[in-house]
Structure formats: structure tokens, C-alpha cells
Homo-oligomer: A and B are copies of this chain.
Amino acid sequence: MTHALPAALDAELSSLLGADGWRTDAAARRAHGEDDSRQWALPDAVAVPRDPGQVVAIVRACRAHRVPLVARGAGTGTAAAAVPFAGGVVVSFARMDRILDIRPGDRCAVVEPGVLNGDLQQALQPHGLFWPPDPSSAERCTIGGNLACNAGGPRAVKYGATRDNVLGLVAVTGAGELIRCGGPWTKDATGYDLTHLIVGSEGTLALVVEATLRLAPRPQAQAGLRMFYRDAAAAAAAVSRLMRQPQVPAMLEFMDASAIALLRRNGTEVPEAGAMLLVEADGDHETLPYALQALADAAAGEGLLSLDVAADGAARDRLWAARRALSPALRSIAPGKINEDVVVPVSRIPDLVAAMEALSAESALPIVVFGHAGNGNLHVNIMYRPDDAGENARAHAALPRLFECVLALEGTLSGEHGIGVAKRDWMARAFDAPTLAAMRAVKSALDPDGILNPGKVLPPL
């Protein structure tokens, strides 16, 4: 397996990075070609820099040879943003994995991109702090990957997603320049906000080499509520009410009728219902009961069938068991799953759910909808057997119908997974031509030769 890199580049980076920092062997290349999208492509080499200076050198060398660069965290992305379809060099941040500073007095931490989300959370625990983004891959995914994809999770409804919890970045642009934006402060009206522009750009504008993260105080305790509703409309109306009162829920998750039916078929003890909401409150022991009462009051209304309270951790774990049982249960329906994390305005959740019911009937495929209702960020799962040609075709034909529906409901393509290549060709539907042109102009400004993760996020012209 020979690589296609210019010999001069190979020699330069091999000499710069050494044998363990510059890998062109088949094993390393194979190991850095896929992510959780289950797509795959072979890079020509894997660079494993140790510090920002090496990242600058890598980008400059690749730029000189017009060789593509794909940044890689832990490869847990689901939109194929880390898959090197254009070949070139994968830059792994596996050796830039230090927590550089934890500053409790300034409520921030400074990290390298290769730090695992879960490792950071552990390091913050003794300080009574946490970093809010909580993707389900938290134990395995890196902060750099979270930054690239603007990762979220259920806690985003109260604490925000990654973009909302980053104060500053040091990054290397596609021009090979090290830039520093933001810093250890929480209010800033000084120049252009490049920090939040780079977050969520999936490695197409710059490679993050250091991040200053906003931390939140760890609440003393959690408590939960679980509600069943007659239908999705009643549940969505409750979501609006829950989000309009000042006791912001720390999580607010939705499950549609097909998810509930699936759980029942799989032996999870839940009643028959048209929709379920799971709510979590966090706070002090003294105030939590009041918060829970305010949330229960907001949850009550037309179409509420039942409400369970979990006042302590153990009871809460029981209530949340239904949510945890869902992903394994999904696998029992069909081995194949198209899972899209679309976003609609909260008021349009019932329309989305109704449209998916219709689409399921029309496609003769199970479609299960659940997710982060407080943000209108729902995971739509189209279930199919990949080895059944008919189901395969119908599943992939249903996908554009989903995106059309989401855009018609004033929603957007992704809330926390990102675009990668998976949703890239829908960008021209989500944005009009002038807006896409503005994005392309910004891309050219920071990556003039288009070497950073080419073919991702923006559709080809």
C-alpha cells in the first residue's frame, strides 16, 4: 500500500515529526480512515503532532504541496466529517491530550484538543465544576471533536451546546497561521468573534490546538419527572410551557408513540401513550422540590395521561431506564438505521411527528422519533434491513422527505451531529445561494487554498 504524497512533503514531515509522529504504514492509515458514520477512506499519511508548532509546520507543508488535511479526534462523529475522502494527511490529536490548566476562580479550563470529554469531567469533579457538553459518546470523544461538530447532548437545554461553552481558541488556519481568539473571560466586545465561527466548522476553517472552556458549577442534586401524553401535540404544548417558566429544566427529552410502543414490545414497563417527556431538574437540596413542582405544574395540561416523580437519584435512574433502553431496542426492529438529528422550532414538534408517522406509513418502514425536545432537536430514526433491496431503497428515499419536511417547518439540518458529507448536499436547500456564497467566502478567507477537510460542510459548486 503506497501513498500518493509528494516525496518532498513526506521527507519534510517525516523528519519533523519522527517515526511515531508521521505514519505512512498501512495499519496507521487504515486505523485513521473511518468514523461512526461507518464510512471509510484511506488517508495517505497520519500526522500525530505534539504541539502547536508542529501543527503549524504540518499545515504549511501541506499547503505548499496543496495536500488535503483532515483533523481527527476520536472518530466518534456520525456525519463522516473525519473521513479523508480526498486522501491526504489525517492529523490526529492523540498526543495533544493534556489538560493545561484548571482555573476554578475564573471558572474555566484550558485544554489541548485530544483530551477526552469524560477525562475532563473527571478532572473537574474535585473542583465542583463540569463542562456542559454531554454527547452520548462523552467517555470516548475528544474536546477537539466536540468543538469541530458543536456537539451537544441533553444538558444543552439548560447549559448550551459546545459553542455556548467555549471562551477562547488557539487555532491554525488553512493559511498555516496560528491565531488566538477569546480568552479566560466571559464577556467580549473586542473585534470579530472568530472563536464561535471556528466552533462547528468541522475542521474546514482551522485546526484547534488549544481551547479555553467555560465551566459550570456542579449542582448538588438532580430529580426527575416522567410524563405520558395522549399525543405528540399535547407533549409539545407541554414542552413550550416547560420552556416558558423560569425553572429551566436541566434535560427535557421526548419520545414519540412508536418509541413507546417499541419499549413496550421489548418488555420495558411503560404505559400505552402517544408521547412521553422526561424532565430533569438540578439544583440545591433545598430548592429542588420547588423546581420540580414548578416543572410538574408546567407539564400538567390538556392530554396529560400520567406523571411520575423521581425525587432522588435511584428513582431518577429508574425513570431514565426507559430512555436508555431505547437505543438497544431500536436494534431489535431492524439492523439498519438512518439517524438524523434535525431541529425544528419547539412549536412545530407535533407537525414533525405527524409527518414522520405519515412517512413511515408511506415508506412501510418503522420511523422512531425521540430526543432533545427543549431545543426542538429530535433524532429521527428510519429503520430498515440493509440487505433487503426494497427496504434499503425506501429508507434512502425517505431521507430527502425528512429534510424537506424539516425545512418546510422552519427547522434546520443538524442540531449536534454536524454536516460532514452526510448532509452536505442539503446545505443548498437549507441556505439560499447568497448565504452559501458568504460561507464560501469565509472559508476562502481562512483557508485560501481549500486544503482543510475539502468536500465537507459546503456542497461542491
Contact = CB atoms under 8 A, between A and B. Distances in A.
Among A149, A246, A446, the most chain B Cβ lie within 10 Å of the Cβ of A246
Interface string A313-348: 000000000000000000000000000010111110
A184 B345 contact: yes
Contacts of A414: 188-190
Interface in A201-232: 201, 205, 216-220
Nearest to A286: B290
A161 interface: yes
A47 interface: no
A70 interface: no
Given A180-B432, A244-B217, A446-B438, A191 B107 contact: no
A193 interface: yes
Given A244-B107, A284-B294, A438-B179, A185 B345 contact: yes
Q: Give the number of times this chain occurs in the complex, counting copies.
A: 2
Contacts of A19: none
A192 B150 CA distance: 11
Contacts of A347: 103, 105-106
Interface string A427-445: 1001110110111011111
Interface in A235-292: 237, 240, 243-248, 282-284, 286-287, 290-291
Contacts of A45: none
A246 B445 contact: no
Nearest to A346: B106
A197 B435 CA distance: 13
B192 A439 contact: yes
Nearest to A294: B284
A435 to B, nearest CB: 4
A345 B106 contact: yes
Contacts of A346: 105-107
A372 B413 CA distance: 38
Among A189, A284, A443, the most chain B Cβ lie within 10 Å of the Cβ of A189
Contact of A430 (B190, B199, B201, B446): B190
Contacts of A177: 434, 437-438
A418 interface: yes
Contacts of A430: 190-191
Nearest to A167: B345
B187 A192 contact: no
A49 interface: no
A224 B316 CA distance: 34
Interface string A134-153: 00000000000000011110
B189 A415 contact: yes
Interface residues of A, number: 102
Contact of A188 (B150, B175, B427, B434): B150
Given A191-B427, A427-B191, A185 B411 contact: yes
Contacts of A284: 246-247, 290, 294
A437 B197 CA distance: 16
Nearest to A176: B434
Contacts of A411: 183, 185
Contact of A445 (B237, B283, B444): B444
B201 A431 contact: no
Contacts of A245: 128, 217
A390 interface: no
A425 to B, nearest CB: 13
B187 A244 contact: no
A408 interface: no
A188 B415 contact: yes
B152 A187 contact: yes
Closest 5 CB pairs of A and B: A441-B445, A177-B434, A187-B375, A105-B347, A445-B445
19 contacts: A104-B240, A105-B237, A106-B240, A152-B189, A163-B196, A173-B434, A185-B343, A185-B377, A185-B412, A187-B343, A187-B375, A191-B458, A192-B200, A194-B442, A246-B282, A246-B284, A284-B290, A284-B294, A442-B446
Given A103-B345, A157-B186, A187-B376, 16 more contacts: A105-B240, A105-B346, A107-B346, A150-B188, A151-B189, A183-B410, A185-B375, A186-B376, A187-B415, A188-B343, A188-B415, A189-B416, A190-B419, A191-B458, A246-B283, A445-B445
